[in-house]
Amino acid sequence: MIFFLAFFLSFIITAVFVPFTIRLALKYGLVDDPKIRPHPAHFHKVTIPRAGGLAIFLGTISSVLILIPVNSQILGIVVGSTILLLMGLIDDKVRTFNPYLRLMLLFLAGTAAVFSGIGISFINNPLAHFLSLPEPFNSTILHLDKIVIPIEFFGSRNIILFADILALLWIVTLTQVINWSKGVDGQMPGITLITGIILGLLSFKFYLEGDFNQLNVAKLSFIVAGSSLGFLLFNWYPAKILPGFSGSTILAFLLAVLSILSGAKIATASLALAIPLIDFIYTVWRRILSGKSPVWGDRGHLHHKLLDLGWTPPQISLFYIAGSAILGSVALFVETQSKFFAILAVAIFFVIFILWINSFSVLSKQSGPDNG
């Protein structure tokens, strides 16, 4: 079956290129040295190669170009991924990349995807059944493609205002969510592995129901999952290589695009990624309330709290992987409205859990140059 081919092709290419990337990183100083690059959120004590995004880029993009016909959306994905790769490799080398500049480049990568025609034309409204909302918010489906602005840029194109803005914000946000979820070995590729499989299964379900456009979406989903597994083999504790900024953002960028290519997948991706997503929201809110910039790193993420409680990196990674697998499986069998309330329930549990473990661990007040 083509989906297994997509999975194993990206898995093999990524796994083959990781040792090459390790040698390249060591040769050119693309490494994480805690003596040179201190950060309050890092726990490694030895020098570890970074630049894992290079192997992930080669595994995903080469598989995409082999298995999926090239169109404007694929070109947007390739351009966006290339921006993230180059940005990440520079970050791995210079070590002090400003997080605000990173954020700007994330918007640039997201713009490449949106400009290629990847937009959120509608969203389901789970509150319509429960609240008396004014027009047009009382509809179960909110259409975002009403305002169209024609422009001339390399030909005639249309900007679908609200659809494109929401898509751009979603891509940048989800990219940051997953980038902030690489605190321990194996955590990030484990999360993207499960989420890619979940989105692939949902796309395959839509394909069987007659939406033949979902064939390539399913292939792309399994490509992301296969590359994640290929990298996970080398990133599991103790890690032989770190993903770096490019590794996490490329996989996150692809997942964000995948969730947009079918409207129903945004809710599915949100539920599969509910734990890191809520941790992201909680972290931004906590930093703002404490008078700090939300993009400057500290040691206050959930995985840091669990480390303080004595959890080992493999235990934390398995916790995130299991959470994504359980919540993602739920997302496959419930409607959008139920997914919304499931995310709300997870959020409430998460806040209670964080408040509880705060009584056992002390939040570091130190901040650093990494946005995570």
Residue ranges of the annotated binding site for Mg(2+) are 179
Q: Which residues are annotated as a binding site?
A: 179
Segment (H or E) for 142: strand 141-143
Whether 55 contacts 77, CB under 8 Å: no
Residue with tokens 């940051």: 176
Residue with tokens 């060591």: 26
Overall size of the chain counted in residues: 372
Measured in degrees and rounded to the nearest 5, phi and psi for residue 49 equal -60, 145
Nearest to 302 by CA among 173, 183, 193, 192: 183
Alpha helices (H) along 209-263? 214-235, 244-260
The first and second tokens of residue 14, run together, are 């990524």
Q: How far is CA 84 from the centre of its chain?
A: 12
Q: How far apart are CA 350 and CA 310, in angstroms?
A: 19
